[in-house]
Amino acid sequence: EQAVAVAGGVIGGILFFVLLGITAYLIWKKFCHLFSYEKLINPVKTTNANAIFQGQANSEIQLKSTRSRSVPFIIPPTLHGRDWIHLTNEEQVQEDSDPYMTPQPGPRSSFHSLAGAYVVGTINPDLYKFPEDKSETDFPDGNIGRLWFSIEYEQESERLLVSLIKVRKLQPPADSCSPFVKIYLLPDERSYLQSKTKRKTLNPQFDENFVFQVSSKMLLQRTLKFLVYHVDKQKKHHLLGQVIFPLKNEALTEDNKLVIWRDLEKENLEPPSEFGDIQFSLSYNDYLGRLTVVVLRARGLKLQEESPAVGVYVKVSLMNHNKFIKSKKTAALLGTPNPVYNETFSFKADQTELDTASLSLSVLQSNREKTLLLGRVVVGPFMYTRGKELEHWNEMISKPKELVKRWHALCHST
């Protein structure tokens, strides 16, 4: 009995230690699993990991696998010392000195082309491409130059800040060119600000700032005028072109600095007609059946002195035969003989009606008591058309969807 008891105790002790060892092993296995990567599915046979890592500066491993190639798997550099045996396709070791993954050849999914090309934390420059600026390369035929400037308005001090930036592609009358720019704030044409003269260049860079004092109430009725001149060897000034820029359509604030470019236009050197001239453009869209009129500006108007001017505006009327169809009018500008409008009006007009239609543009001066007619011009094949007015209309029809711009003399015919 004593022998049996001793044998049972020995067997029980052995079983106890075996169970204790198994429990310790399972606990150790569990903790090791928590601090390791999960085993990948469908691993393939690979070469020894130690042989792979030795002598590889970039430490890149590419192995064949049936696993999807759409999402790359990167081993952190801090874990390079571990024995990573089950590395499969698209799983790479990244060294500290190589911040980019080497892209794999062959077709890629759309996700792989974005996420696989750059490691998280780096910038893909293809995602931050800005649209190409063609303002210095895309010049139309017949262009005589292009001017860049910026404008900003300070409400508190009531100052208009104008920055003259540059001019490109000037067309001087001689081989050399020494340009400068005069800046006016219309309707005041008696005073101006002038830039420095740039010697022997067709592409002057000015970068000069100018200040005009103008109240906020009058600001939207003012117009900037840039005149670009060339100085020859005899110190004579030759006008190369001009830019007219009305301020009424711009939102000018201290937090909104506008950078603008405009093509130079040739100045109309002909003397004004008896009642003044008006410039406008015509275009016709045969697909939409739409007639478009852009009232640009007038010059040399004979304002009525016997009554104080409240405003000068242009009334545009569409006629068919002698029948009035529709009329629209521009904003009224305070009495100036050279108003600038730049306003667009559209009228519905069927193509079959163009042979009997006409447009009447009347320049009117209004005050509190009455409205006075300063001049009128009619274009079209019907009513009171003349040579240039009829030519303008026919040119509009022959060039569909193009703006045809012309000057016309005003008259008092009714």
Asked, for residue 9, whether it belongs to a domain, the answer is no
Asked, for residue 87, whether it belongs to a domain, the answer is no
What is the rounded distance in angstroms from the CA atom of residue 402 to the CA atom of residue 198? 36
In angstroms, what CA-CA distances link 31 with 19, 39, 307? Answer: 19, 15, 100
Question: Residue 205: pLDDT band by 50, 70, 90 thresholds?
Answer: very high
As a whole number, mean pLDDT of residues 283-303 equals 89
pLDDT exceeds cutoff 60 at 42:
no
Number of domains in the chain: 2
Q: What is the domain range of residue 214? A: 142-264
pLDDT exceeds cutoff 90 at 209:
yes
Strand ranges (E), 247-302: 258-263, 277-285, 290-299
pTM above the 0.75 mark? no
Q: Model confidence over 295-350: pLDDT tens digits?
A: 988 988 888 765 555 788 999 999 888 788 899 999 888 777 888 888 999 999 88
In angstroms, what CA-CA distances link 216 with 25, 158, 165, 309, 353? Answer: 86, 6, 25, 20, 45
Position 211 scores a pLDDT of 93
Last residue of a domain, one of 203, 234, 264: 264
Position 78 scores a pLDDT of 53
- 309 and 247 in a common domain: no
Position 34 scores a pLDDT of 60
Question: Residue 58: pLDDT band by 50, 70, 90 thresholds?
Answer: very low
- 288 and 202 in a common domain: no
- 249 and 187 in a common domain: yes
Task: Work out the number of other CB atoms within 10 angstroms of the CB of residue 114.
Answer: 13
pLDDT exceeds cutoff 90 at 402:
no
Q: Model confidence over 2-29: pLDDT tens digits?
A: 788 888 888 888 888 888 888 888 888 7
User: What CATH number corresponds to the domain at position 234?
Assistant: 2.60.40.150
pLDDT exceeds cutoff 50 at 31:
yes
